[in-house]
Amino acid sequence: MNDPARESVWLALSELWLDTELDEADLATIASTLAISGYPPEELEAIYRLEVAPVVWSNSWVTAGVWDGFDPDWLFEGCRRNQKRRYSLWHRGRCRLLRKAMTAAVEEDWRKIRAQL
């Protein structure tokens, strides 16, 4: 099932892991997209950590990562899969174990975005 608001959140958050430098305007655009979605901050945090990060985090660790945007179909497929497993103890444990690896490269930008919500 498609959820346009959630898909826009997935796309916006995935930009954090692109192989580019985001400036304050980019972060404000991401924050605006998240705010428009209508999801409360706690849900956006869960989407960030449990749905998007597990799909795209490895892009931060490769020499020549994706810089022009992730394929939306690929991204949505992975995020939908993670959305379905969000309450699985295995998935949550894996995300907790890999949290630093998955979010270290983007955590500062994420803090700036959260402050704008």
Q: Using an 8 Å Cβ cutoff, are 67 and 20 in contact?
A: yes
Q: Give mean pLDDT, residues 17-25.
A: 96
pTM beyond 0.85, yes or no: yes
> DSSP assignment of 50-78, as one string?
IIIHHHHGGGGGSTT---S---HHHHHHH
Mean pLDDT of the chain: 95
- pLDDT tier for residue 65 given thresholds of 50, 70 and 90: confident
Say if residue 26's pLDDT is above 90. Answer: yes
For residue 64, pLDDT over 90 is answered with no
Domain that holds residue 85: 4-115
Banded model confidence at residue 95, pLDDT cuts 50, 70, 90: very high
Look at residue 1 in the predicted model and tell me its pLDDT. Answer: 64
Run of H or E including 106: none
CB atoms within 10 A of CB 97: 10
**Total of domains in the chain:** 1
Q: How confident is the model at residue 62 (pLDDT cuts 50, 70, 90)?
A: confident
Q: Residue 69: left (phi > 0), alpha (psi -120 to 50), or beta? A: left
Share of the chain above pLDDT 70, in %: 99
Place of tokens 């346009």: 4
Give the 3-state secondary structure percentages of the chain, helix then strand then coil, rounded to 5: 75, 0, 25
